[in-house]
Structure 1
Amino acid sequence: MSSPSSSPSSTPTLPPSQPARGRSRLIRVGWLAGLPVLALIAAAAYLGTTRVTERLERQAAEIAAATAEGQPEPWLRVSIKGRDLTAAGEAPEATQREAVIGRLAGIQGLRCLDDRTGVIEEASPFVWSVERPAADRVEANGSRPAEVGAFELAQRLKPALPRDTTLSDRARAARGAPRDFPDAAAFAVERLQDLTTGAVATLNDTVISIRGEAASLAAYDALRTALANPPQGYTLGTVEILPPVVGDFRFSVARRPDGSLELNGHVASEGAREEIRAAAAEAAEGAAVDDRMHEARGLPQGVDGPELARFVFRLAGLLHEGRVVFEGATVSVEGNALDSGAVGEAEALMREGRPAGIAAGRVALTARPIVPYVLRIRRGADSVTVSGHLPDQATREALLARLNPRFFRESIQDRTRLAAGAPAGLAAALAAAVDPLSTLASGELTVTGTDLRLTGTSLYPESAARLRRALPQALPSGWSTTVSVSAGEPMTTAAESGPCGQRLAARTAGHPLRFAPGSTALAPEFYPVLDAVAALARACPGERIEVVGHLDPAGAKPETRSDPVTEEAAKETAPKPAKADPKTAKEREGKGRKDKTETRDAAKSEPKTEPKPEKTEAETAEAGADLARARALAVVDYLQKAGVPLERAAAPTGVTPLSDRQGIGLSLRS
């Protein structure tokens, strides 16, 4: 008999895993059945929250809109996130602020109220600033006018904002804004268009300050133009704008045939521009300087800007026409050199004189014949500069020997070069023109071939007229001359309109006439002053000029003249004032011959071999008085030749001589 478990008719049993699978299927069915319920619960919660948020927004907006009463716009600004509310703005009064905050706090369903409101106050100084922290954002801080309103101000500023930027207004309303504040704010915001990120513009009452870096060369130029015209009623304060950085920093100096210079390329700052222009003016020696430089940064590392400029101008000084260029940390020079020697000087300078960090570029110079032959003598405030060419060293030394005694107060700067090709008569022409130049307050003597040009300013109209007459007559044959000398301004209006004595004092003030020790010869610097005195005497017919001579300094020895060329030039260029009456001139001539004869006779009577006995104090005083009177008579003689009637110019006798410090005394007597 078989066992029951092995009976074919017994019920089969399930595997052990089948009950677990059944339970899992039941659970999934249960979840699926519960999902609709959960969705209904979530939807109900969302709809409930949305309705609460909408109600909060609606009620808060009504409260905010109500704050516009008596204001340019609602002062309350609210923002809601879920059931949380943030309030911002400045209330006109504290009571209004408290009332509004109370109404907001009472809104049903509100969970949290963040109060960021304040009360409008007086701001002094009234400061508002705008900053560009990022390329797409502009932020306003400080105080904005309460009477304008945030929205209205934003609308006024929108057209001035940099492209593709938004305005974030973090300023607080305040009273005390200056007039036309929105216009000034728009002006400040508009400047940010030309500046990189990090730029800041500030209004401090009526003062506008700007700090930043220019975005480009064109932007930098646009900023300079715009800042020259701030809004009416406003002024510029601190303006710190850095030039843009360029990758191809370059600098060049071009010399034109007329001696003028053209500056191109980049300059690191306005201060550097002024230094370069000063160096250019000196190198141009009176010719024009055309400044076409743009301010920029980017000078190669290790290159000293001032040293570079000095090096470039040294090379440019060797050019008659050409260009010196710094580009890519390399300096090159090309053009027509001053002379054959200048070519070698430029090559040596390029080899041995380059500043650190600068490479030597091309030296392409040619030396052409010097046509026309040019020499310039320019008189400035405290120096006389001689430049151009001279034929030889002897001519150079003779010219300097002529200049030194005539410009003893100024320093003589010799920048001449020696070269062949000088026109015939150059030395004689210079001898004739140096004295007239020394009588000018400022001026320039230019020799171009056989053409001589004298320009400048004279102290007096009479002196200017005399130069125009005398200089052409003194030049060598075959030379032409142009005299363009203008008269200086009158001494003072008050003196010119006063009595003749005051006018005389005004015209001679600051111009003492002092003779050289032992001399009675008029110095060239006397002529402008005496011309003016003669003109004044003619304008004051009721007055008489009295001249008193001066003594020599104690222990002074008579000066000797060892330069015969200078003496001959002095004779050729001596002033030729208007002729006086022939009879009067003849009488003076006779008197002069008599005085000279007496002087020679006295000289002959002195023992020649025996030592001269020492003079007593009385004899010394008498000799000094005689010298002082002779000087006075020399001045009187000049005035009479200049047109002053004989009876209206005199050197009175018995008058105590003046000291050397006082110089010649001039006075009017009725």
Structure 2
Amino acid sequence: MRGLFRWSGKWWPGIIPLIVLWAFAAWTSTAPLENDLAARSSEALKGAVLDKTKIAADGRDVSLSAYAFSDEGRRAALASVAAVPGVRLVDDETRLVAEAKPFVWSAERDVVRVTLGGNAPLPALKTKLSEAARSALKGVEVADQMTLARGAPPRFEDAALLLIGQIGKLKDGKFTISDGDVTLSGMARELGGREAIAAALKDLPDGFKIASNEVKAPPYIFQAYKDPVALTVSLSGNVPDENIHAVVVGASSRRFFGEKVVDNLKNSVGAPSGFVNAVVPALGALSRLSTGTLMVSEREIKISGDALYDEAARQIQSGLAKDVPQGWQVKAEITVKPAAGPVDATVCQQLFSDLLGKTRIRFETGRADIDRDSTGLLDRIVEIALRCPSANIEIAGHTDAEGDEAANQALSQKRAQAVVDYLVKAGLPADRFTAVGHGSTQPIASNGTSDGRAQNRRIDFVVR
């Protein structure tokens, strides 16, 4: 027995390497087979719609872990793996993706990005919606925060893609689908954007409806800036249509006689009621300023700048509020331009001649009422008269030769007196001015043409 024990003791250590070699051989032969079986099982699921899929093989048994989007899809995936040659048993660890009630999806835009949130019904559609947003908003960051869920209403894809196509019309805001209800909020990027979005969403698929549309239009802004250095009046912003566009530019051309009108206006929907009846008087007030800025936003007028003399500042402050339609607000910040130095009579006469060589004082047809388009010109005349305080000035009225001469003489006298009245109301002494009517007796052009007659209808200033 002792001899046998000694022999057994020598034999036992030798079997350990054999066991290790056997285990290594078994492992090296089994691992490739399991990897191959797992790979072929994965290939069998290539067309299946699953999420978070994991496959592992243990011998000939395959474990399938995944989220499916329907019972049919789940059963089909298990059957596909079971049909793989060599698979003995499929360990089912699949689950259904959670169902969202209600099924909510959203697209939200802020200053820097668009965020897609809520639920998407399938991985491929989740990717498609993100790619559609990037295509519609080139250069804008798109953040995909969608989660996968069951329960999407029929034609959800069509509705979501339609909304994504409209997100570029928002400056900021949010579109939301909750089952079949669509809600919209935010600010449109441009005037007309709100209306364009509403028009596009008339094509929502059946089963979807607009539950709430709170998209607002951006402020409707009209601006004008009078630059005395560049001698320009720049118009920018919005006007309702081509007809009002022409009215605004025409009024500017008549009132800003010494400046070039730079027209950068756009025709845009959304103007507040009474727009043109507010803008034209406001332009008249701006024409009375040496330099100034006008802004019209919604139903508010803001005007600032330098008037040419004290009384003009007071008139603009109080008068504009009376001239605009009811319901409009006026905020005027008018200062007075520093007075220029005095000049002698000769220079004063030259200043009047230069000014009236560019334009003329207009009156209502056949009447002595001064046309409001001439208010800015008359303020410039007041400014010149203030610079020659010791001079006496004759204001001479002239007409063309049409009609009765006695009537023409009377009309010319009344028109000259209307100009004197304006100057006196501006604060100048009445005894410095004399109104004289010459009728048609002193023409400067032929009365045989309309242009000649227009030149003859004039007011002259003669410095004594």
Q: Give the alignment's TM-score, normalised by structure 2.
A: 0.41
Q: Which has the higher contact order (CA 8 A, sep 6+)?
A: 2
Structure number with larger C-alpha Rg? 1
